């Protein structure tokens, strides 16, 4: 789909285009503050980013994190969240929150759910209790959560299924998207309160060119302020991911912010930015940190390995995180070897600081017209095999 370059009212502004790629610098105005894009969102599935204080996440510079509708619906539950008027007060996070619809979590529990036209019946992975998610209910739950960006209920097609099954899943996703819009627009009439956030549609279509193009066109044309690209990074080879990301991004409207769900490695992020993607999220940075793997410009550093035992250097001399300001690689290895909780906390802060600064460097390169050079030089240095990483 080709669009004139226009601003989507005041919600999304394109501030600068890169002349050599499709990368763009932008900003999204959300209820809890403006977010500069491209931006990475730390994952706080249960209303908290694992192994780090909320205040520290804010100090790094993040003002948008991700939480999950499915998990928050099951625990603490809508009754508790309603007592606090949503997740912001409940978790004492006064910045923006994007919530996944919970659809991916439900579909990953294939033995515990059944899909119908009306919605999804599933069993809780916690206690086996039975529940129903409809498009309308998912909108209502995210309204109660107080999501600044809410996602529609969709069907994430697994890699490898045939064209006909993918088509059926895509058509149902589009039908659910239409129902989600109707529910959003009726929210004030139903509850007496206007919908608090911004509802994004999700492009599906699996790994078929015609379905991807069709879904991108249909979701782009709907009354959503932003568009997510779903159904990628679900087990496909990287070259397949790269191809379908590029194809889908080229068909999604230019006028709305684009969000690719579930990517967090630097090479995937750079490729997505090059294709005009604005938002990313992934558990990779925090999960790897808890296992002792940290980001550096020279590649991933495994702090647990023996070559760090007597290394007096910080992880990164130019990093401002607590680990790099006060501790050596040797001490961090000691913490991991002795299974101290502080090890994961320090490594998590480092990885989130690194990614925040990495995205800042990307935005600067777009602003300066040097993104392609930055990408190529960064990946060359990051991917060279080192003996001490």
Active-site residue set: 100, 281
Q: How remote is the C-alpha of 245 from its chain's centroid?
A: 15
Query: What dihedral angle (degrees, nearest 10) is formed by the CA atoms of 262, 264, 266, 268?
Result: -10
> And the tokens for 48?
């908290």
Neighbouring C-beta atoms of residue 167, cutoff 10 Å: 18
- The percent helix, strand, coil of the chain (3-state, each to 5) is 45, 20, 35
Q: What is the per-residue DSSP string for 33-88?
A: EEEEESEEEEB-TTSS-TTS-HHHHHHHT--EEEEEHHHHHHTT-HHHHHHTTSHH
Q: How remote is the C-alpha of 83 from its chain's centroid?
A: 27
CA distances from 125 to 70, 75, 79, 103, 287 (A): 11, 11, 19, 14, 21
Helix (H, G, I), strand (E, B) or coil at 173: helix
Helix (H, G, I), strand (E, B) or coil at 207: coil
Assess contact for 26 and 257: CB atoms under 8 A.
yes
């Amino acid at each position: 789909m080709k669009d004139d370059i226009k601003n989507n009212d005041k919600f999304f502004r394109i501030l600068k285009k890169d002349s050599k790629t499709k990368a763009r610098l932008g900003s999204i105005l959300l209820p809890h503050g403006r977010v500069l894009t491209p931006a990475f969102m730390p994952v706080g599935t249960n209303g908290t980013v694992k192994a780090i204080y909320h205040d520290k996440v804010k100090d790094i510079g993040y003002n948008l994190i991700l939480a999950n509708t499915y998990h928050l619906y099951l625990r603490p539950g809508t009754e508790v969240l309603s007592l606090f008027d949503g997740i912001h007060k409940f978790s004492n996070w006064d910045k923006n929150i994007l919530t996944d619809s919970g659809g991916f979590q439900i579909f990953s529990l294939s033995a515990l759910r059944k899909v119908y036209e009306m919605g999804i019946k599933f069993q809780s992975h916690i206690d086996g209790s039975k529940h129903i998610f409809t498009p309308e209910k998912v909108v209502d739950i995210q309204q109660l959560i107080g999501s600044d960006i809410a996602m529609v209920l969709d069907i994430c097609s697994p890699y490898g299924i045939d064209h006909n099954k993918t088509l059926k899943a895509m058509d149902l996703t589009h039908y659910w998207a239409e129902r989600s819009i109707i529910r959003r627009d009726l929210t004030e009439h139903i509850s007496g309160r206007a919908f608090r956030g911004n509802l994004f549609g999700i492009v599906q279509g699996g790994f078929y060119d015609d379905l991807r193009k069709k879904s991108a066109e249909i979701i782009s044309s709907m009354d959503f302020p932003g568009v997510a690209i779903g159904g990628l990074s679900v087990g496909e080879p990287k070259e397949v991911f790269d191809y379908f990301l590029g194809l889908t991004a080229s068909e999604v409207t230019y006028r709305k912010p684009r969000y690719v769900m579930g990517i967090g490695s630097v090479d995937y992020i750079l490729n997505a930015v090059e294709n005009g993607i604005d938002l990313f999220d992934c558990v990779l940075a925090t999960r790897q940190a808890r296992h002792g793997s940290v980001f550096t410009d020279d590649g991933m550093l495994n702090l647990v390995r023996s070559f760090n035992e007597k290394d007096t250097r910080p992880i990164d001399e130019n990093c401002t995180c607590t680990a790099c300001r006060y501790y050596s690689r040797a001490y961090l290895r000691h913490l991991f070897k002795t299974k101290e909780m502080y090890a994961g906390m320090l490594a998590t802060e480092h990885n989130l600081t690194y990614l925040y600064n990495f995205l800042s460097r990307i935005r600067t390169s777009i602003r300066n017209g040097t993104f392609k050079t930055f990408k190529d030089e960064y990946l060359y240095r990051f991917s060279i095999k080192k003996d001490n990483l």
